[in-house]
Structure formats: C-alpha cells, structure tokens
Amino acid sequence: MRGPSDRPTLDRLLRFDAGTKAIYEAEHGVARAAHLRHTVSFGLLLYVLHDISVFLLLPDEYWIIFLATIFVIVPSSLAVAYSVAKVSSEVREIMVLGAILSATALPVFMLYYSNAPHSTHMNVEVILCIVFANMLMALRFRYALAYSLMTLFAAILAVSMKNGVAPNLKIALCFQFTSVCILTVYANYLFERRRCSDYCISLEAKVRAETAETSGKQFQVMSKTDALTGLPNRRFLDERLEEWCAGRRSVVIMMIDVDHFKLFNDTLGHLAGDDCLRVIGETFNSAFNEPDLFCARFGGEEFTVVVRGAGELQVARLASAIVRSIEALGIPHPGRSDGVDVVTASIGVAFKHKGVTGSPAELLSQADDALYKAKRRGRNCYVVGDPARPGMPISASLGAR
C-alpha cells in the first residue's frame, strides 16, 4: 500500500513511477486492452476498405498492396487484437506499435516504389496512418514519439529518393509529413499529460483519504485502549456496557482490585507497579477476548471483566479462576503484612438478569459494593451479589481459597 509520502510522479516521457504504474494497470489495464482491441479492429477494417482508393491510384502495382494486406497486415493486426488482453502492459504497447508501424510501412514503400502518375497521393495514406496511431489509437506518448520519428524519417527518405518528382513537390510533401507528425505528437502529448496528471491527482487524493481513514480508525482504537495494559479502557467499557445492558441477555460484571496495591507501589516504586499491572493486563488480554466476554481497565489498579449470557455457576467458576490465576502469577509483594507475599486480587460480582434491562451505573455500583465486601472478608477472594433479586443488597459470598 502506498504511504502519504509516496507521491505519484511522471517523467518527461509521461511515464509513471513503478508503484503508480502497477496501480494504474490494475485499475485501467482491462479498459486499455479493450480500447486497443476495438481501435485495431476498426482501423483494420478502414485500412482494407481504403484499398479501393489505392487501387484507383496504383492499378498496376495494386497486387503488391493486396498481397501484403491479406498475408501480412490482416493476420498481424488480428493477432495483436487477440493478444492485447493476455500480455503485460509493456508488451501490449510494443505489439501495438509494431502493428501500426507495419501498416504504415506499406504506403511509405509504395510512395517510393510506384512510378504511377498519381503515386505521390500515397502521402494521404501515410498521413491517415499517423493520425490514426497518435490520435485515435492514442499510443502512449513515448511510443507515439518513437513511431512519428521513424515514420517521418522513412517518409522523407522515400520522397527524397523517388524519381520523377519535382523538387518543389518533394519539399511540399516533406513539409506535410513533418507538420502532421508535429501536430499529432503534440496533441497526443497534451492528451496523455492530462490523462496521467489527472490520475496522479486522483491517486494522491485517494491515498490521502485512505490514510486519513486508517488514521481515524487507529485513533478510534487508541482512544478506547488503555496505553499501559493494552486492554480496553473505561470509555470502551462504558459504551459496551450501555449496549449490553439495554439488551435482553444476562450481563455479569466483575470488579477486580489488586490487593494492597498502594503498599506495593510504596515498597517497590511506581515503575514496578506499572509492570505489575501490565503483567496482569496481558494475562487478562489473552484470556478474555471473545464476543461475549472482555476485560477492561477500570482505572488505577482496578479491572473489570464483563460477561454476557453466562449462568450463575459459570460466573462463580470464572471468578474463582481469576482469583487463583492472579495469585499463581507469583508477583512478589514484600510490602504486605498479612502473611501473603505475592500479589493477589479481590473481586466483586454483580448481575443483570436475562429479560431485564438494567442501568450500567447501578450494575457497577453493585459490583463495587461486592468488591468492598470481599476486601472486608480478607481479600484474595470474590463476593457474588444476589443473582435472584436485581437491585437488592449483596447477600451471598464465596471464598476463593
């Protein structure tokens, strides 16, 4: 993917940089191949029909044109029309250049070779080929420039070497070829420059829009993520809790508080405290990341686990497992005076029952009340509020040890 600093560029021959070229081909390659197939087919039909005028101009040498058209121009043009959609962009443009060069070579040769009285009128055939290549077929500018230079050189050489033509007429014919080549190449350049410039502008705008959208999404994610632990933050918790509490499914909130965390910071320092919270957050982040289960950092040393659609027994088992898993981390806590030398946590649990809409604030308040009751009962345990009667005071407790 292109970054905002990778601006699309064009060189003097109107070539995209490699990255822009690949993107352009992916977006417009099919349309370009279809355009070339159409113009080659149309040009071939016009070329064959125009042989009628050539027959009237050069009746004695018409057999040369007929054989070259039937056995060279037509087969090669049909092969190009068939193949343009099956090859790379570079090969495609070179094939088309080769086809139009071969089609132009025939009238240039007849201009030089024929001694018919009206053979100089073959200049019209050459001019039509130039206009067709540079304007209707719209060769890419670098190929249009190469085609025009080669055609101009061959046409001037053919006219200069042609016998039986007055010098003034030779000069006039050379002037005509030069004027047509300059005119059509310049027109091709203007068309190609507009096409390429417009695409560069649109691509740059698209990249900026995508970058802004990506940045917006990243900012949105960052705004709902706790920087220290990587868990969802209070903002995410509030939004998700509001949504879940408005639904009909049951919702359980577990308010988790690290025991004696102030003593931990006072003893080991705030950096160690941050490390402790980070380790606990990583544990929660890996364990609680499901559609109906998540953990958020509530603030300070408090975390919140929210479960949707769980039964009472599942909740009890989950709360007990959380208490045991935090103790099992074995994070040393030398500042405690209760005989426990590792970090532990206390949990308060509150329910919103199935089929009942509830208030997130009320549910959090019940979980907080249950948490403080767990602390009063000695910490390193959990207390479950009454699941049978929402809004009533806590009436049930279970220990984790």
Instruction: Output the 3-class SS for 291-360.
Output: CCEEEEEEECCEEEEEEECCCHHHHHHHHHHHHHHHHHCCCECCCCCCCCCECCEEEEEEEECCCCCCCH
Q: Is residue 345 part of a domain?
A: yes
End-to-end CA distance of the chain: 54
* CA dihedral over 161, 165, 168, 169, signed as positive or negative: negative
Question: Residue 266 in contact with residue 315, Cβ under 8 Å?
Answer: no
Report the pLDDT value the prediction gives residue 398, as an integer from 0 to 100.
41
Residue 313: band (very low, low, confident or very high) from pLDDT cuts 50, 70, 90: confident
249, 197: one domain: no
Please report the pLDDT score of residue 334 as a whole number.
92
Mean pLDDT of 32-48: 93
Does 12 map to a domain?
no
Range with lowest mean pLDDT among 55-64, 94-103, 255-264, 383-392: 383-392
**Packing angle of the helix pair 122-131, 89-113 (nearest 10 deg):** 170
Overall domain count for the chain: 2
Nearest 5°: CA angle at 284, between 218 and 250? 90
- In the predicted model, is pLDDT for residue 382 greater than 90? yes
Q: Verify that 50 and 172 share a domain, yes or no.
A: yes
Domain boundary among the residues 210, 225, 246 is at 210
The answer on pLDDT for 319 being more than 80 is yes
Q: Is residue 220 part of a domain?
A: no
Residue with the bigger pLDDT between 144 and 240: it is 144
Query: For position 99, what pLDDT does the model report?
Result: 94
Is 395 a member of any domain?
Answer: no
CATH number for the domain including 364? 3.30.70.270
Q: Are residues 76 and 188 in the same domain?
A: yes
Same domain, 182 and 248: no
161 occurs within a structural domain = yes
Are 186 and 253 in a shared domain? Answer: no
The secondary structure of residue 17, as a DSSP letter, is: P
**What whole-number percentage of the chain has pLDDT above 70?**
91
pLDDT band at 27 (very low <50, low <70, confident <90, very high): very high
Residue 62 Cα distances to 58, 107, 369, 379, angstroms: 6, 11, 105, 107
Check residue 248 and give its pLDDT.
Answer: 85
Domain of residue 348 covers 234-384
Is the same domain home to 75 and 182?
A: yes
Q: Looking at the structure, do residues 190 and 312 belong to the same domain, yes or no?
A: no
310 token code pair: 């769980």
Query: Confidence class of residue 2 from pLDDT cuts 50, 70 and 90?
Result: low
pLDDT at 52 over 90: no
Contacts for 298 with CB less than 8 Å, ≥ 6 apart: 234, 237, 255, 304
On average, the pLDDT of the chain sits at 88
Whether residue 374 lies inside any domain: the answer is yes
* pLDDT for position 393: 36
Question: Which residue's structure tokens are 């695409």?
Answer: 199
- 145-149, 219-223, 351-355, 356-360: lowest mean pLDDT where? 219-223
Q: Are residues 190 and 253 in the same domain?
A: no
User: Which residue stretches of 84-134 are H helix?
Assistant: 89-113, 122-131
Q: Is there a single domain that holds both residue 171 and residue 241?
A: no
Is 0.85 topped by the overall pTM?
Answer: no
**pLDDT computed for residue 391 by the predictor:** 37
Q: What value does the mean pLDDT take over residues 305-332? A: 91
